[in-house]
Amino acid sequence: MASPLLNGHGKFCMIEGLFNQPTLLAAQKTLDAVELRQEALASNVANAETPGYKRIDLSANFQSDLSRACASGDSQQISDLQPTLAPDTTATTSSPDGNNVNLENEMLQMNQNTLLHTLETQIVSYQLSKMRMAVTGK
């Protein structure tokens, strides 16, 4: 007879359920996006002097897709989201060589991204501490 704590794949359902809460998953997906965006911003800064380089950023539809998934409350829909990078079609070319990176804007975006990373990390830590308290009673 199979254990009631195990699903058909040998995973513990109770533990799996703790980590599939929509709030925690959304914060984790946002952290994934923030990390990917940091890579894009760093690439933009590194290529600020590269002729013809086009600015990249987090895909514009990620935030709306995440909001829609969160509104549904469907953990699987949130889990399935993958942030991606795309060319920034709103960036204007300010240089005769076709490069559309504005270094001041990139630095501002990096600072904002760092603040978002700090906030999302705190949210994930808080969620995990709540789970630890529920499991251990401490």
pLDDT, residue 127, reads 83
Residue 71 burial by Cβ neighbours in a 10 Å radius (0-12, 13-18, 19+): exposed
pLDDT per residue as tens digits for the range 49-102: 999 999 999 998 999 999 999 999 999 999 999 999 999 999 988 789 999 999
pLDDT, residue 98, reads 92
- How far is Cα of residue 60 from the mean position of the Cα atoms in its chain? 13
Residue 28 counted as domain residue: yes
Residue 76 counted as domain residue: yes
As given in the structure block, the two tokens for residue 69 are 């998934």
Q: Which residue has the higher pLDDT, 5 or 112?
A: 112
pTM metric for this prediction: 0.78
Residue 17 counted as domain residue: no
pLDDT per residue as tens digits for the range 7-66: 445 444 445 555 678 888 999 999 999 999 999 999 999 999 999 999 999 998 999 999
Q: How many separate domains does the chain show?
A: 1
Residue 75 counted as domain residue: yes
Least Cα distance to 101 among 38, 42, 16 occurs for 42
Residue 108 counted as domain residue: yes
Residue at token pair 């630095």: 107
Residue 68 counted as domain residue: yes
Residue 14 counted as domain residue: no
Give all strands (DSSP E) within 4-61, no chain letters: 56-58
As given in the structure block, the two tokens for residue 130 are 């709540």
Residue 132 counted as domain residue: yes
pLDDT, residue 124, reads 86
pLDDT, residue 5, reads 44
pLDDT, residue 137, reads 80
58 is in which domain, residue-wise?
22-93+102-136
pLDDT, residue 4, reads 42
Please tell me what DSSP assigns to residue 73.
T
